[in-house]
Amino acid sequence: MDRRFTVEGVELAAHLARPTQIHPTCQPGLVIAHGFPAEVGGGINSTSSFPELADRFATESGWAVLAYSSRGVAESQGNFSLNGWISDLKGAVAHLRESVPVDGVWILGFGTGGALAIQVAADDDGILGVAAVASPADFEDWARNPRKLLVLAREIGVVRDPDFPESIEEWSAGLRSVRTSDAASRMAPRELLILHGRDDETVPVFDARVVADSHGSADLRIIGGGAHHLRHDPRAIAVLLGWLDRQRAWLVAGEDR
């Protein structure tokens, strides 16, 4: 991560990848939102791999791409909360718009990041599309036992302050407020790609179908034999590269959908 921006007084680490050649008339922008860490240091879902992905998308597809770490993760300050991560994603979108003269912004989110991407897009008509990878339809599992989640968050280091949160009730209310399926219906008919592994052991593939049905015209792609961490599945990356190319072509053509 080679830059920083601030959201609600919390400094977040980020990496901005620019294409080698800027399109003379239109420049698409992409924000990459990571998922909830699987273990201390992030494990296979570590945000340390996302700058490389951003560079690849910038080089191969001509996008300006911002990858960042949400509060409590990696080099970013703060403590994890779902509402805080929503604010961070909104801040990342604003930072990209301020940093590069983009003509449209899309969001690519993995796991929790994909669910929050749909939530943010539902409230921001300026987000032209979302790709959600291995994302849950809601956070009811977390909401049913918030104290267990808080213990886990402390163990993996995304909640660092021993006095955080001031109110467990307020912190847990944020878990119940995000319903990806409801947000998907509100962001329609804007572009939504839903990518999920058929053998996802963390988020059932059923969640992907629920979100796709709620949107009504989502592009649902199920990767046969795919597990949860599709970031490391070349088939999933190929799908994402194709999706980015189509979004860029649409932006260049200036066509209505």
Give pLDDT tens digits for 138-186.
999 999 999 999 999 999 999 999 999 999 999 999 999 999 999 999 9
Mean pLDDT for the stretch of residues 246-251: 92
pLDDT tens-digit readout, 202-211 = 999 999 999 9
Q: Exposed, middle or buried, 172 (CB in 10 Å: 0-12/13-18/19+)? A: buried
Dist CA 212 CA 16 (whole Å): 30
Q: How many CB atoms lie within 10 A of CB 145?
A: 13
Question: What is the DSSP code (8-state) at residue 201?
Answer: S
pTM of full prediction above 0.85:
yes
**Domain 3-253 CATH (choose: 3.40.50.2000, 3.40.50.720, 3.90.1150.10, 3.40.50.1820):** 3.40.50.1820
Query: What confidence tier does 43 reach under pLDDT thresholds 50, 70, 90?
Result: very low
Dist CA 192 CA 64 (whole Å): 19
Cβ-contact 10, 70 below 8 angstroms: no
Residue 46: pLDDT over 70: no
Measured in Å, how far apart are the chain's first and last C-alpha atoms? 35
The set of residues, in sequence order, having a beta carbon less than 8 Å from that of 171 and lying 6+ positions away, is: 81, 146, 150, 165
Share of residues in the chain with pLDDT > 90 (%): 85
Tokens 């979108």 locate to 93
pLDDT tens-digit readout, 184-200 = 999 999 999 999 999 99
Cβ-contact 175, 142 below 8 angstroms: yes
Q: What pLDDT score was predicted for residue 257? A: 52
